[in-house]
């Protein structure tokens, strides 16, 4: 969806096209675009001349003679194209304005979500779509009203900034950019944003929106501000659309992608730490890396913990789960529960079946994890998830702790475990995705020294998380 800078760019491109032009005729090719009576819209605007275009938030206001006003919102795919009269209309032309100079202006909208509405100079500011809009960042000099409106609001700051009734002009792209510039996690509750942080949000919003306007907005996917015109601000974006790339600020972590209120959101897990309880924590790492020790350290501090390995063990005790795995893999356990030795031996000789097993088991594990997180009252909720990235469960967690370990020490620890399982563990270890995903961690902790030093590092993380949760 075009945001404030894109709409400002469209307005600036359109103004010299329409200013001083008289409307000779209007063709309405898709009635749903017109808000209100279509005949009134056409009869009131035909014969009038455009004087100016202004903008409020993402709305363009066309000012015409005799105090007539046309309100326009582009929504997802709305565009304006100018043509000479004898040229064909644009492909998705919905409303066509014919001018006195032999030109025409097509309002083009492939998804037909945009609107045009007839108003007057006397009443357009009172129209419900305009009246409910909050101030633009450019006119905010005191953040007290923002703090007052959000002091009890537990909604994530990302969703709060997308609410145009609080402050208008920031859409999905620019909210991500502003929060990154402010080092604020998108899931931090709005009520926990300090005065200093609100001031940073407003100042960065002003700067980023102004820079985007100067660059002609951002051309993302199918959006272009005008015919054969691209915005250039997408080349200056720091975080939006860059999930998986290294953070431009800390250069030590990859940007993570999550959904916040259904909107795709990108942030740096190192630079942007979530404030406010509960904080959900995933602990992951290679086999024998020290995940269980880390989880136990949180438990000793009184925080709720869950082991996904334990969840799997409990699932394997279920008759329905055992029978389903038998059917999937074509094996027999000889009893109404999963025989782990039989399963391990089968996966060693049929490694491709590991993916079949995961596709069945991972959703069951995810359900139990979600139930745990929903039921827990702990301000820090910890889940040990060895296959965090393979199972795509990383999006459930605010914080990811990756335990890093050298191959030498890991081999030593694996060898010290049950010798019957050692070969299986080594094979499983070959397929883990920790190395290629560890830069997504909020905390990357090495376990290459002794246990006491390792636990000390975990306790440092716990102390920091406690400060963020309070």
Which residues does the annotation mark as catalytic? 2-3, 58, 263
Which phi and psi (to 5°) does residue 304 adopt?
-70, 135
Q: Among 215, 153, 223, which residue's Cα sits nearest to residue 188?
A: 153
Cα–Cα separations (whole angstroms), residue 131 to 64, 72, 125: 21, 15, 6
Q: Would you tell me how many other CB atoms lie within 10 Å of the CB of residue 194? A: 12
∠ CA 193-196-201, nearest 5°, is 70
Local structure of 170: helix, strand or coil: coil
Query: Which residues have a Cβ under 8 Å from the Cβ of 16 and sit 6 or more positions away?
Result: none
Q: Which string of b and e fits 390-423 if b means at least 16 CB within 10 Å?
A: bbebbebbbbbbbbbbeeebbeebbeeeeeeeee
For 256, 304, 322, the CA distances from 16, given in Å and listed in that order, are 42, 63, 72
Residue 399 in 3-state DSSP? strand
Task: Report residue 310 as tokens.
Answer: 């334990």
Element holding 403 (H helix, E strand): strand 399-404
Q: Is 444 helix (H, G, I), strand (E, B) or coil?
A: strand
Give the 3-state secondary structure of residue 229: strand
SS (H, E, C) 10-47: HHHHHHHHHCCCEEEEEEECCHHHEECCHHHHHHHHCC
Q: Buried b / exposed e across 134-169, counting CB within 10 Å, b at 16+?
A: bbbbeebeebeebbebbeebebbbbbbbbbbebbbb
Contacts of 412 (CB under 8 A, 6+ apart): none
Token pair, residue 113, equals 């979500």
Q: Give the torsion through C-alpha atoms of 274, 275, 277, 281, to 10 deg.
A: 30
A 10 A CB-CB count for 467 gives 10
How far the first Cα of the chain sits from its last, in Å, is 37
């Amino acid at each position: 969806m075009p945001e404030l800078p894109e709409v400002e760019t469209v307005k600036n491109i359109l103004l010299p096209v329409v200013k001083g032009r008289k409307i000779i005729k209007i063709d309405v090719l898709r009635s749903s675009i017109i808000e209100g009576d279509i005949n009134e819209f056409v009869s009131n605007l035909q014969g009038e001349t455009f004087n100016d275009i202004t903008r409020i938030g993402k709305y363009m206001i066309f000012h015409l003679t005799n105090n007539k006003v046309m309100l326009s919102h582009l929504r997802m795919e709305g565009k304006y194209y100018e043509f000479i009269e004898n040229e064909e209309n644009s492909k998705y032309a919905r409303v066509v304005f014919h001018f006195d100079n032999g030109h025409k202006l097509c309002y083009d909208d492939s998804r037909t979500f945009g609107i045009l509405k007839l108003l007057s100079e006397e009443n357009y500011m009172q129209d419900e779509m305009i009246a409910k809009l909050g101030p633009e960042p450019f006119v905010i000099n005191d953040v007290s009203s923002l703090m007052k409106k959000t002091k009890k609001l537990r909604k994530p700051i990302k969703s709060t900034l997308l609410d145009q009734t609080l402050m208008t002009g920031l859409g999905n792209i620019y909210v991500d950019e502003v929060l990154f510039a402010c080092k604020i996690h998108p899931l931090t509750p709005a009520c926990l944003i300090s005065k200093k942080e609100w001031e940073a949000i407003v100042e960065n919003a002003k700067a980023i929106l102004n820079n985007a306007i100067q660059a002609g907005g951002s051309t993302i996917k199918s959006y272009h501000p005008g015919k054969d015109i691209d915005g250039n601000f997408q080349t200056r974006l720091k975080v939006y659309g860059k999930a998986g790339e290294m953070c431009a600020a800390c250069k030590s972590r990859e940007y993570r992608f999550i959904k916040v209120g259904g909107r795709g959101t990108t942030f740096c897990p190192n630079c942007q730490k979530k404030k406010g309880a509960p904080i959900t924590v995933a602990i992951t790492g290679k086999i024998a890396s020290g995940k269980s020790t880390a989880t136990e350290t949180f438990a000793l501090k009184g925080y709720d913990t869950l082991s996904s390995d334990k969840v799997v063990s409990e699932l394997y005790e279920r008759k329905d789960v055992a029978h389903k795995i038998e059917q999937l893999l074509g094996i027999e356990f000889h009893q109404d529960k999963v025989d782990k030795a039989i399963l391990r031996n089968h996966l060693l000789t049929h490694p491709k079946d590991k993916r079949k097993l995961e596709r069945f088991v991972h959703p069951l594990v995810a359900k139990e994890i979600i139930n745990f997180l929903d039921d827990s009252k702990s301000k820090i909720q910890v889940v040990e998830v060895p296959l965090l990235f393979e199972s795509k469960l990383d999006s459930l967690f605010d914080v990811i702790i990756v335990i890093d370990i050298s191959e030498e020490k890991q081999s030593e620890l694996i060898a010290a475990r049950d010798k019957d399982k050692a070969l299986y563990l080594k094979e499983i270890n070959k397929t883990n995705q920790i190395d290629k995903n560890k830069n997504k961690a909020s905390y990357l902790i090495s376990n290459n020294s002794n246990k006491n030093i390792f636990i000390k590092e975990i306790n440092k993380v716990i102390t920091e998380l406690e400060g963020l949760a309070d």
